[in-house]
Structure 1
Amino acid sequence: MSSPSEPSPPPGCPAHGAGPRTPLYTQEFAKDPKAHYAYLRTFGPVAPVELAPGVDAALVTDYAAALHVLQSPDTFVRDSRRWRALNEGQVPLDSPVLPMMAYRPGPLFEDGARHLRLRQAVTDSLAKLDTHQLTRWVERTATYLISQFSSRGKVDLIGDYARLVPLLVFNDLFGCPGDLGDRVAFGISGIFDGTDAQSANDVLVEALLELVTLKRAQPGDDILTHLLQHPAGLSDEEMIPQLIQLIGGGFEPMSNLIGNALQILLSQGSQADGPQGGVILVEDAINDVLWNSCPIANYATHFPLYDVELSGIRLNAGDPVLISFAAANSDPSLSAGRGTVSRRAHLAWGAGPHACPAKDPAMIIAVQAIEKLLNELPDIEMSVDPDALVYRPGPFHRALGSLPARFTPVRSTRPRTSLNPGIVQTPQGGQAEAAPAAAQKGKFWSGFLAWWKG
């Protein structure tokens, strides 16, 4: 990719002294991505970046150029089997970005007729989702999670809430029984945490295969059953990557959306302008996140079918081109006319044939989870200065590492099943030894079911 004469990175930029490519995986980038996006814009609408050591890409930072790529499937495709550097052995096979970029036979990496077939199965199955039932699922899930920490007076809203709500809700949506749901939760968490990811992936695939077999024999009123019964006739080999993309693709963005919105709300207007004297509504906080702190900041990997120019920048066939949803949303040319731009014109949900098919259920989950927390713990507030918050490094997401908060303790009236391995919570908030950690690890879903039936 050619570019204008190389500008100097701003002071403190990790690209300083490291060549023209800006690494997106460092803690420095996570600390201040806006400054890095401003620097990347000096290259034009497309900039050279490094996603991980040895993995180069072009990042689209311009709103109009991003829309063009997203809406031009005849020129830019999603099938990463066209990734030239990977095919030529230039990408390390143990690279941490491969799980997000390497080809899998699901709608995320397909184009044309095959993509339409797989996507239609998803959209039709999601259309059967009862929104009232979904609201009830989220409410009872939130009630359960809040009961785990309400008597303590303090909580990490990321690890104890925002990252667990999607896991439990998705287990409900896909009709997981207790043990299988635990293994799915363990597998998804392990993949995103990067801790023994291969082992976690093996657990996840095995659990999903068992779940598909179970649902073929015992169908229910859930998304997985709807997928299995869809006229597209998905095979088991197609179902597994479909489920991994649906669950995994929902888990990380949903966790980040809830966490980032809570950070705004608990900061009392420091990150957004409230419409009512500084009071920020939940929907306004979520909208602020989608515009200014995209849960998935840089992704939607495309590959040019042939050498092409994008807004005057040459892109080579088979080289990865990523969309910076975060940078495009904050494009100065767009911001200048923000008053005339629709609130829904952000690119956080994507655009074109691969736009997110589940944005409506995602909004329901986020709104309900946040409102339930604020209603149950009305005096909850951050227990650290907002400037002390640390974001997790990584090229794709905008994700808080933790969000410490405090509130007036609430006495629980029901026994609590701990999510902390090896610990059982008593009704008075005390702790007692339980089974060994290895036997308890990942018992999110069965613990929830025990509480609900309790």
Structure 2
Amino acid sequence: MQSPSDFPAPPPGCPAHDSGKSVPLYTPEFAADPNAVYEYLRQFGPAAPVELSPGVEASLVTDYAAALHVLQNPETFVRDARRWRALNAGEVPLDSAIVPMMLYRPNSLYSDGAEHMRHRQAVTETFAKIDTHRLSRHVDRVSDYLINQFNGRGRVDLVADYAQLVPLLVFNELFGCPAELGDQLVYSISCLMDGVEADKAMELLTETLMELVALKRAQPGDDVTSWLMRHPSRLTDEELISEIMTLIGGGAEPTQNLIGNALRLLLSDEKYAGDQHGASLLVEDAINDVLWNNPPIANWAGHYPVYDVDLSGTKLNAGDPVLISFAAANSDPSLSTSRQTLSKRAHLAWGAGPHACPAKDPALLISVLTIEKLLNRLPDIELSVPASSLSWRPGPLHRALTALPARFTPVRKENPAASHFPSDVRSAPKTPVTEQQRRPQKGTFWSGFLSWWKG
């Protein structure tokens, strides 16, 4: 068997140069050019050794067929992180930023077999209750509210001021969050996304969801939280909190990235730019382009072999984490001749197998409507910096822009009082969270939106 030293050197700028055995995926260099790293990793075979954060190693599957094999064989590759050998042996630094994302929780994402079926059925049947017309109205008024905050300025960061917030505010409404809890939810998830005081942000998020569950136990409503509670699977409070945390936190980040990455294409790529760039067909085409070529979650779906496995010549040890690179699998050279004719559903951006994303349809609807609303209300919007100067957030899991600066003709405000832009949530993730700042102040985004909507 070949060793890493037998392979050609990684491309210039690739973080593999000084990495030893495992290739780090958490550096700015990887964020700047992940495709060069994926190309290098392919030389190891269908799976390659990577480092997700210092001291946290895994195998990353970069081959399309091998990825499908792992995703579609839950008897061999399980999701329960309690099998993580290195973690159980005390070899993983517990203060690592990536570890909380990988630890076992009692929800559909980290369970297998009958438990997974119980959780998954609760989620899918609950999501089936979401009325698309109602969801469309939620997206429409949330988008209107956010655009009203910046349309008089003539400039905007489409990530921080729009793409990041639409999914969070829409999910707040779907899950029935009252004003104060919604503010805390937006605040804590924004901090987690930006990696600011993650331990305190996670503590606040957990406390917020405990309060939400207690509230809905006492006062159920016509919302996702209450529907999950009433499901015959009879999820416990601990399971509910864990499930809701995954659905909101895990749903907001990919949707945010999908919106931002698609807007980048629509505002910079010649095949999308022009007088017709507000057409829904082009928006859907841009989203499909992103899902194939720049999926919002690039590397995820941690699996653990139940025994030593030979994956097309690559040995995977029992209990060692195996992640799927959706981005690398989608760009697998073996697909090059047929890729353009493949079904839109053939990409792996939503995963595959029993753990495929259960919220794909709502995420797509939110993304399409959010982008259409922006382009229709600000038809002359354009990037205010060269597309080549845009940067990407470091991190092994996501494909996310740090910012998307844009400019447009300012719109005269009809009701300046309704366009007050709350500052504490927007500024909070930029600075460390102190004990006094752990809970957001009144007047933040969700309570501001509710006040605006109720008039």
- TM-score after normalising by structure 1: 0.93
Report the 3-state secondary structure (helix = DSSP H, G, I; strand = E; otherwise coil) of the residue aligned with 1:105: coil
Partner deviation per Cα, 1:425-450 (whole Å, 9 max, x = no partner): xxxxxxxxxxx998637811001011
Report the 3-state secondary structure (helix = DSSP H, G, I; strand = E; otherwise coil) of the residue aligned with 1:58: strand
Cross-structure match for 1:192: 193
| Distance across 1 between alignment mates of 2:375 and 2:425 | 29
Give the counterpart of 1:421 among 417, 420, 424: 424
8 Å CA contact retained: 1:6, 1:20: no
Shift of residue 29 of structure 1?
0.4
Size of the alignment, in residue pairs? 440
Change (3 A) 1:185 1:438: closer
Cross-structure match for 1:19: 20
Alignment of 1:19-418 (within 5 A): 19-269=20-270, 281-414=282-415, 415=417, 416-418=419-421
Report the 3-state secondary structure (helix = DSSP H, G, I; strand = E; otherwise coil) of the residue aligned with 1:13: coil
- 4+ long deviations beyond 2 Å: 1-7, 276-280, 436-442
Structure 1: runs of 5+ lacking an equivalent: 424-435
Amino acid at match of 1:398: R
8 Å CA contact retained: 1:269, 1:278: no
| Distance across 1 between alignment mates of 2:48 and 2:222 | 46
Report the 3-state secondary structure (helix = DSSP H, G, I; strand = E; otherwise coil) of the residue aligned with 1:47: strand
Partner deviation per Cα, 1:322-359 (whole Å, 9 max, x = no partner): 00000000001112211442121000000000000010
8 Å CA contact retained: 1:45, 1:311: yes
Shift of residue 3 of structure 1?
5.3
Amino acid at match of 2:421: S
| Distance across 1 between alignment mates of 2:115 and 2:328 | 31
User: Quick check: 1:9 aligned with 2:28?
Assistant: no
| Distance across 2 between alignment mates of 1:202 and 1:446 | 21
Partner deviation per Cα, 1:116-148 (whole Å, 9 max, x = no partner): 001110000000000000000000000000000
8 Å CA contact retained: 2:308, 2:316: yes
Partner deviation per Cα, 1:152-204 (whole Å, 9 max, x = no partner): 00000000000000110000000111011111111111222211111111211
Amino acid at match of 1:407: F
| Distance across 2 between alignment mates of 1:344 and 1:383 | 34
8 Å CA contact retained: 1:50, 1:56: yes
Change (3 A) 1:112 1:340: same
| Distance across 2 between alignment mates of 1:319 and 1:153 | 51
8 Å CA contact retained: 2:425, 2:444: no
Partner deviation per Cα, 1:276-312 (whole Å, 9 max, x = no partner): 8998700000000000000000000000000010011
Deviates more, 1:317-326 or 1:330-339: 330-339
8 Å CA contact retained: 1:417, 1:448: no
| Distance across 1 between alignment mates of 2:257 and 2:165 | 11
Change (3 A) 1:14 1:441: farther
| Distance across 2 between alignment mates of 1:278 and 1:157 | 16
| Distance across 1 between alignment mates of 2:54 and 2:404 | 29
| Distance across 2 between alignment mates of 1:323 and 1:11 | 25
| Distance across 2 between alignment mates of 1:442 and 1:346 | 41
Q: Report sequence identity in percent.
A: 66
| Distance across 2 between alignment mates of 1:86 and 1:437 | 30
| Distance across 2 between alignment mates of 1:334 and 1:176 | 44
| Distance across 1 between alignment mates of 2:155 and 2:273 | 27
Deviates more, 1:193-202 or 1:412-421: 412-421
Deviates more, 1:284-293 or 1:96-105: 96-105
Report the 3-state secondary structure (helix = DSSP H, G, I; strand = E; otherwise coil) of the residue aligned with 1:390: coil
| Distance across 1 between alignment mates of 2:440 and 2:277 | 51
Report the 3-state secondary structure (helix = DSSP H, G, I; strand = E; otherwise coil) of the residue aligned with 2:95: coil
Shift of residue 368 of structure 1?
0.4
Shift of residue 20 of structure 1?
2.8
| Distance across 2 between alignment mates of 1:437 and 1:103 | 26
Report the 3-state secondary structure (helix = DSSP H, G, I; strand = E; otherwise coil) of the residue aligned with 2:57: strand
Change (3 A) 1:36 1:366: same
Shift of residue 8 of structure 1?
1.6
Change (3 A) 1:160 1:277: closer
Report the 3-state secondary structure (helix = DSSP H, G, I; strand = E; otherwise coil) of the residue aligned with 2:310: strand
8 Å CA contact retained: 2:291, 2:347: yes
| Distance across 2 between alignment mates of 1:265 and 1:252 | 20
Change (3 A) 1:439 1:63: closer
Shift of residue 213 of structure 1?
1.1
| Distance across 2 between alignment mates of 1:422 and 1:445 | 10
Cross-structure match for 1:431: none
Amino acid at match of 1:298: N
Cross-structure match for 2:431: none
Partner deviation per Cα, 1:376-410 (whole Å, 9 max, x = no partner): 00000000001100000000000000000000000
8 Å CA contact retained: 2:82, 2:103: yes
Amino acid at match of 1:417: H
Amino acid at match of 2:26: Y
| Distance across 2 between alignment mates of 1:202 and 1:278 | 41
Cross-structure match for 2:446: 445
8 Å CA contact retained: 2:206, 2:241: yes
